[in-house]
Chains A and B, each alone.
Chain A
Amino acid sequence: MVLTNCWRCARQVPLRALLQPARPTNPPATTPTTPTTPTILLRPKQQQSSSFSTTLQKAALVKKKTTLPMSNPKAKGSTTLKIKKKGPPVKVSKPAEVGVRRAERKRLVLANANALEVELPTLTAEIAKEDRADGAVFRFEGAMIDTLRKLEGFQLKQGWEFFHTPSTLVKGESVELGKLIAWVNGEEVQPKAVQKEKPAEQEGNVGQEGDVQQEEQVVQEAYVKGWIPTGGYLNTTEVIPGVAGIRDKKLAQLTRESRSGRRIIAGPRGAGKSVLLTQAMAWAHQRNWVVLTIPNAQDLVIGHTEYEHDLSTDLWLQKPYTMALLRRFLESSATVLKATPLSQDHVFGRDVIPKTDSLYKLTELGSLDVWLSWDVLNAVLYELSLPKRPPVLFTLDNLNYISLPSAYRSPDFTPIHAHDLALPNLFLSYLRGERTFWRGLTLAATTARSPATPALTFALAGEEVSPYKKLDPRVAPSIKGVPVMAVSPLTRPQAKALMEYYRDSGLYTQDVQSTLAEKWVLSSGIPKELMKACLRLKY
């Protein structure tokens, strides 16, 4: 083979071109000769807009991409959040009628046919004065249960539904209250014996006195943990009105016979504060007293009843609640009210209750007409403050709730303090002793289940409060001078009496004597905890 070019010329041609097979003789002028040539120069002249713009190329690329079958049809940025709307819920069953669920929730069960009936003495008026009754369980009689139910003396979650008949343990504080009631009633009361009798229960535990003392110490320490105990109370703070300025001998004598007591019952949760109120109600009712109750002070402050401003007193009246209060009063004390005369005619606009009618008629008017209820309550309280009127027990449970700003709002939208509500204000004036009945006892019980009320806690403990502490300044003066009854923990004999009652009711199957120490210490001497430990705690 003879080369067409001489070797000298062949040096200027790339060697690769020489080794490749022969090409067509007339290729286009722009056909690349080498692969290293830039692509941009290979495009036809008419496609190039300008040397610096890449728009057309990119557009061409995008166009190519859109032809691909797997590409996303939506452009980026157009995605939106789409939440499927659910239809209305499908109603499976018919909803309960209005009030049915509430009635079910508030249903109070006071008897249990499955529990064994226990032979117990009845809680009578005489027991109130007996020191010997301390540590014994008594049952409420049938008629008394009905009355206490009307007064809302029994509450939910107190465990009444486990037993055949409502029964109660009489503690040291019960006897103190009972004696107070007897004293206000004008009866002779024996002061409490200083030397306590040794509990009979210890007979079987001879030689174990040290253990008992140790257990007692444990119970005391556990009981006061987290709760500021009060420094006890005095028996000598009852209000005995002075008769020095009274010239009329008869009036002076009547005034001398006037008696009025007041107490705040305080203690940890489940200590039996509300049950003490229930016992007081029972004893007062048995002595033919009239009983006014505010069973739960929370009802007054959570904004569930109507309220209106009273210009004359600058207080907020709650007339529907006052009407309910008068209705409870009327139903529970009807017999006594019917026998109580009126001192004067009472005129409320067009309604007139003449002097010849009884206190019952007056109360009835207020319990039927919501607009008159507050005026009628004041008239009834005036009548009860006069001499020779029946003694009055005025109780309020959950005192903590009226030591706080309420859920009600004034027109300028500031919360109304509970002390500016007329009913709490009225109760506190009786509790402080500013207003009195001719013969009356005012009792308030605290609660451990309210929002924190540090001002009340300090006031009850009688402690000096640092001026730098942000406490409600109205609370301490509102209960100034009121004796505080601190509910003490269960003693060993009291715990034993309760456990025997559980055993006799068929609810506690273990041996009382051998498990007493364990349950007593576990419960810290709190009756509610003892019941839980005996009835509910399983191992």
Chain B
Amino acid sequence: MVFIGGINIPEGVLVKKALTGFYGVGPNVAARLCAKLAIHDRALVEDLSISKTTAVTLELTKMPIESDLRRKIQEDIKRLRDMGTYRGRRHAMSLPVRGQNTRSQINTARKLNRVERLG
């Protein structure tokens, strides 16, 4: 187990894949982060030197990820709601915000759009 960005990651995992486990880091951000630190595509977490591990953690602390990002998103939604906008209301009503049809298949909105948004 290697300690990166506040969590323990198993050793046999690709670095790029492991980074996408953080909320707010997708494949593109992970690829750019790896390029910045010269980590090759097939690098495993166990292959990282201590200096590289520290550098990855340092880069992650500079980015809005995990609870910081969640809080930011919730604040943005709260602002919409407080202003009484349509988008704010739709968020609060567990309904799609961006004009999707609601006849069927609005599972994501039902799941995530709450007064305090999940995820």
- A residues adjacent to B (C-beta < 8 A): 77, 79-81, 98, 302-309, 407-413
Contacts and interface: CB of A to CB of B under 8 A. Distances in A.
A409 B31 CA distance: 9
B89 to A, nearest CB: 20
Contacts of A304: 40-42
A459 to B, nearest CB: 29
Contact of A413 (B35, B106, B107): B35
A77 B40 contact: no
Given A80-B104, A80-B107, A81-B107, A411 B40 contact: no
Given A98-B12, A302-B41, A303-B42, 9 more contacts: A80-B104, A81-B104, A81-B105, A81-B107, A304-B41, A304-B42, A305-B40, A309-B38, A413-B31
A407 B105 contact: no
Contacts of A409: 31, 34-35
B40 A306 contact: yes
Contacts of A80: 104-107
B35 A410 contact: yes
Interface residues of B, number: 18
Given A79-B104, A81-B104, A411 B35 contact: yes
B41 A411 contact: no
B98 interface: no
B38 A308 contact: yes
A256 to B, nearest CB: 45
B43 interface: yes
Contacts of B12: 98
A409 B103 CA distance: 45
A77 B102 CA distance: 9
B46 interface: no
Interface in B66-96: none
Which one of B31, B34, B38, B107 has the greatest number of beta carbons of chain A within 10 Å?
A: B38
B105 A408 contact: no
Interface of A is mostly: loop
Contacts of A303: 40-42
Contacts of B103: 77
A307 B107 contact: no
11 contacts: A80-B107, A81-B104, A98-B12, A302-B41, A303-B40, A304-B41, A409-B34, A409-B35, A410-B35, A411-B36, A413-B31
Nearest to A410: B35
B104 A307 contact: no
Interface in B1-53: 12, 31-32, 34-38, 40-43, 47
B32 A407 contact: no
Nearest to B103: A77
Q: Which 5 A-B pairs have the closest CB atoms?
A: A409-B35, A303-B41, A304-B42, A81-B105, A411-B36
A221 to B, nearest CB: 43
B32 to A, nearest CB: 5
A450 to B, nearest CB: 18
Which one of A98, A302, A409, A411 has the greatest number of beta carbons of chain B within 10 Å?
A: A409
A306 B32 contact: no
A305 B41 CA distance: 8
A85 to B, nearest CB: 12
Given A79-B104, A80-B104, A80-B107, A307 B35 contact: no
A313 to B, nearest CB: 15
A500 B3 CA distance: 64
Contacts of B41: 302-304, 407
Contact of B38 (A79, A302, A411): A411
A79 to B, nearest CB: 6
A113 to B, nearest CB: 37
Which one of B12, B41, B47, B107 has the greatest number of beta carbons of chain A within 10 Å?
A: B41
Which one of A81, A98, A413 has the greatest number of beta carbons of chain B within 10 Å?
A: A413
Contacts of B107: 80-81
Nearest to A308: B38
B84 to A, nearest CB: 27
A409 B39 CA distance: 9
Contacts of B37: 411
A408 B31 CA distance: 11
B6 to A, nearest CB: 24
B105 A307 contact: no
A410 B43 CA distance: 16
B35 A306 contact: no
Contact of A306 (B31, B36, B47, B105): B47
A513 B106 CA distance: 74
A303 B42 CA distance: 7
Contacts of A408: 40
Contacts of A309: 38
A80 to B, nearest CB: 6
Contacts of B38: 307-309, 411
Contacts of A305: 40
A344 B40 CA distance: 36
A306 to B, nearest CB: 6
Which one of A77, A306, A410 has the greatest number of beta carbons of chain B within 10 Å?
A: A306
A307 B42 CA distance: 11
A409 B36 CA distance: 8
A462 B75 CA distance: 64
Contacts of A98: 12
Contacts of B106: 80
A413 B40 contact: no
Nearest to A83: B107
